[in-house]
Structure 1
């Protein structure tokens, strides 16, 4: 059973061909009462908008809804500059950012843009050190780190955040999950087609044990599940498919049994009608079931 309040969001397609549709969906999601708009970060994709520029544009078109990077690639967005961008965003848009970060899933894409090609082990080290830069920088502290993958000579971070910026780490393997438990404010699970529900308890256990070993309360770590699928009769679609009741029962089960407190919906088609079903029918039904 999650200790944090339930939250729900919608993933927006950053493809330039769908930019106008995504902007309309952002406004509709806010009107429907969702908590987050989430944007993936794959800048080496030629057809993708830059996620930071896109988020800033969308934030200017909305008033209340939160934004989530799902997840920012820290190998292409070094942590000191990433903190600067996040603090600026939060200052300009009244604390509406949850900073989802990751070590970078695609070494070829990172190298293609001039980043360093790292082994998986070095990527984990890079991420752990990056969080040791990112967290104090977001707090407006003085940052210095001489590590295996980072050398920060001495940086006075700012501007100070009126509202703290949470850092949620995208992780799947055991070492990255342990980094999540040790340092991050939340875990962002990959899509339910990549981390299947029956794999979740073992991953949650790694996070919890690492948190306790670091002297942290695991209950304070938010748990986010990216859920792809379609609400309604469908065949051959990836992820979760079925009617409103099946979606409500499934997400409530994943919350109470698996411990997720935040769900980001990735509709596979018919995004406007799927948003209406999700926000208008699935979300209130999940809240009711979990509360009961």
Structure 2
């Protein structure tokens, strides 16, 4: 059993379709009213049926007050890390510290190349993401008075002035599935953000956690420095179902608590664009899961962990 002890987060994964922009924004507002912690949006700049994700995040930040916002995940091949770093920090400052950064190495390379991006092999994509994280962190580090000097094969920032620093320690959450990406997540990231639909089940979470933990140890970090997040889909039903997250709220509570206590997941981001589902998750399911997890942690004697300081 694995429980990294992080506080639990619940969020929404909203499709940024341009055909109904006010509905997209409205789902973020529904998420906030329901008490969810996060509203997130996929980032596919080559997809003409979608709103530009960074423009959308900025607009939603202005139309909400409390909820935290993130791309899920930002497409690094089409968002140069030096520019992305300043965009993230700027929106974090403007929103009062409500931005996190989901980050990916890229997919759908035909679309990326058609938009002017460079096609990379999977290995090159991992290397580029590693360099991109270095560039972003260097630009955010205003405690260092020297100019940035990050030299990479894919991304560099040499002689750039640092800043602005975000309003809070922005988490870099990596979408990872393959061994090299998982090792990069353990070595450098603040969070692991896969989608349950791309995994075969909890066993894949355990295998991914083990790779991340090993890489964190090798990098001199505590495994708890890496928050474990999960994009999940599901449906509410009056009757219990055999599938994960397919049944009444009490079944969701049992299964999400098990994912937290036994498989290390501490943030659940719900897809589906269903305002009723988001409301039930925020108002009924999330409080009940927190109660179950808190009671079991108390029984086990597990102290809560702050992932921003876990590696210190």
User: 1:216-255 counterparts in 2 under 5 A?
Assistant: 216-233=221-238, 240-255=245-260
| Partner SS for 1:204 | helix
Over aligned residues, Cα RMSD in angstroms? Answer: 1.8
Aligned counterparts of 1:250 and 1:151: Cα–Cα separation in 2: 43
1:277 corresponds in structure 2 to 280
Q: 1:182 aligns with which of 187, 190, 199?
A: 187
Are the counterparts in 1 of residues 135 and 156 from structure 2 also a CA contact under 8 Å?
A: no
Instruction: Give the TM-score, by structure 1 length.
Output: 0.94
> How far apart are residue 239 of structure 1 and its match?
6.5
| Partner SS for 1:37 | strand
> How far apart are residue 230 of structure 1 and its match?
1.2
Aligned counterparts of 1:215 and 1:70: Cα–Cα separation in 2: 27
Aligned counterparts of 1:144 and 1:55: Cα–Cα separation in 2: 30
> How far apart are residue 2 of structure 1 and its match?
2.8
> How far apart are residue 214 of structure 1 and its match?
0.4
Aligned counterparts of 2:69 and 2:109: Cα–Cα separation in 1: 26
Larger strand percent: 1
> How far apart are residue 134 of structure 1 and its match?
1.2
Are the counterparts in 2 of residues 230 and 240 from structure 1 also a CA contact under 8 Å?
A: yes
2:148 corresponds in structure 1 to 143
Q: Deviations over 1:207-227 (max 9, x none)?
A: 011011000111121110000
Q: 2:196 aligns with which of 192, 196, 205?
A: 192
Are the counterparts in 2 of residues 138 and 165 from structure 1 also a CA contact under 8 Å?
A: no
1:166 corresponds in structure 2 to 171
Aligned counterparts of 2:240 and 2:116: Cα–Cα separation in 1: 41
Instruction: Tell me: higher relative CO, structure 1 or 2? Use CA pairs within 8 A at least 6 residues apart.
Output: 2
Are the counterparts in 2 of residues 192 and 239 from structure 1 also a CA contact under 8 Å?
A: no
Q: Deviations over 1:103-143 (max 9, x none)?
A: 01221111111100111111111111111111121223532
Are the counterparts in 2 of residues 41 and 71 from structure 1 also a CA contact under 8 Å?
A: yes
| Partner SS for 1:156 | coil
Are the counterparts in 1 of residues 139 and 164 from structure 2 also a CA contact under 8 Å?
A: no
| Partner SS for 1:193 | helix
Aligned counterparts of 1:139 and 1:100: Cα–Cα separation in 2: 19
Aligned counterparts of 1:4 and 1:69: Cα–Cα separation in 2: 21
Q: 1:58 aligns with which of 60, 65, 68?
A: 60
> How far apart are residue 181 of structure 1 and its match?
0.5
- Which 5+ residue runs of structure 1 have no aligned equivalent? none
Q: Deviations over 1:30-68 (max 9, x none)?
A: 122111001110111110000000011011011111001
Are the counterparts in 2 of residues 170 and 187 from structure 1 also a CA contact under 8 Å?
A: yes
Are the counterparts in 1 of residues 14 and 41 from structure 2 also a CA contact under 8 Å?
A: yes
> How far apart are residue 251 of structure 1 and its match?
0.6
Q: Confirm whether residue 209 of structure 1 aligns to residue 211 of structure 2.
A: no
Aligned counterparts of 1:143 and 1:53: Cα–Cα separation in 2: 27
1:266 corresponds in structure 2 to 271
Are the counterparts in 2 of residues 193 and 239 from structure 1 also a CA contact under 8 Å?
A: no
Q: Confirm whether residue 286 of structure 1 aligns to residue 284 of structure 2.
A: no
> How far apart are residue 233 of structure 1 and its match?
5.0
Query: How many residues are paired up?
Result: 288
- Which 5+ residue runs of structure 2 have no aligned equivalent? 296-312
> How far apart are residue 153 of structure 1 and its match?
2.1
